[in-house]
Amino acid sequence: MGLFYTLKAEKMFHRLLKRDVTGSPFYVHISLFDSSVVVPLPTHEPLATCTVERWYAAPGVERIPIKSGKVRGALFLPPGPGPFPGLIDLFGGAGGLIEFRASLLASKGFAVLALAFFAYDDLPQTLEVIDLEYFEEASRLLLKNPKVKGPKIGVIGLSKGAEVALAMATFLEEIAAAVCINGATSMNGAPLHFRDINIPAVPYSTEAMLINEIGLMSSFNVMGDPLDSVHEVSAIPVEKAQGHILLVAGEADQSVNSKMFAEIALGRAKKFGRTNCSLLHYPRAGHMIEPPGSPICFLSFLRVSPMPTIWGGESKPHAKAEEHLWKEALKFFELHLGPAGKLYEKKVQIS
């Protein structure tokens, strides 16, 4: 897959992101040139060409827009009667609704709610507070669907979505399994409210933002030192989680000190005698650990940032991390939620 994961954007600092996940594929045009051609010019004729289609939804996967109560998002259902294990899919600080991972998971036999929680439709445009009752409502909505297998569901989150996913696994009885990728394990920037529970946030230290000589930004130190005892009150009490938690950290993450945060949460769980928390960490992998097979995002513009953000990572180790985590996450969810649905059987006749 090296042809694909090493592709570079023509527009600097842009991220390849599939929006219409069910209506069309990505078309990748491949040209093969003579080995003497270092940089192809319009005058160079390729030896061969082809176009590859990369689909983000298997045939029959259904996308249903969700606008129910306070919940906003898109539900992806595999074909067939089900019931299928249910998942909620969360992304991070860019806000809005990102659907490509949800459609890929649905293509593997999960019923997946891609859930927006700010900067989308009539939701707040900025994230001032994490109201866990919103995520509880979304969890119960998913469980009510007749194609979703209960009694519990899973959640997967990246970056800020990982922080929220960890809080969901800690406080919501509906969550049996959570995969938290490169996120903080304490509340940062926005406090958490859930009924009579209030966890204050560690304020962002914007003065700790690092900007290199070409104007690229790293937010690695913005969340402060997670080992500082002053921040203990903001830690998510993972020892209260009844479900299983898989923490994931890229060791070359330049956005969040994700490995340190994960190790602190893992240590806290062990301190209380809990064995339901585990850690996967990947040397030389960056922040944007996503499903494999697409160009790796090492830096890009973020909606709330005035300059491009460095996400970190090196091509080959990061790609290997994406391949490994994708398989491990699928196995993790099947272990704790039950087998994924089988979309179809491919029969091969040998003559």
Query: Which residue numbers are catalytic?
Result: 159, 253, 287
With beta carbons less than 8 A apart as the criterion, state whether 64 and 75 touch. Answer: yes
Alpha-carbon distance of 167 to 177, in angstroms, equals 12
Alpha-carbon distance of 47 to 62, in angstroms, equals 40
CA 181: distance to chain centroid? Answer: 6
CA 113: distance to chain centroid? Answer: 13
Alpha-carbon distance of 292 to 108, in angstroms, equals 14
Alpha-carbon distance of 116 to 98, in angstroms, equals 8
Of 217, 179, 203, 193, the residue nearest 305 (C-alpha): 217
3-state secondary structure labels for all residues of 67-116: EECCEEEEEEECCCCCCEEEEEEECCCCCCCCCHHHHHHHCCCCEEEEEC
Dihedral pair phi/psi, residue 197, rounded to 5°: -100, 130
Q: How many Cα atoms are found within 13 Å in the side-chain-facing hemisphere of 167?
A: 32
Residue 183 backbone class (left: φ over 0; alpha: ψ -120 to 50; beta: rest)? beta
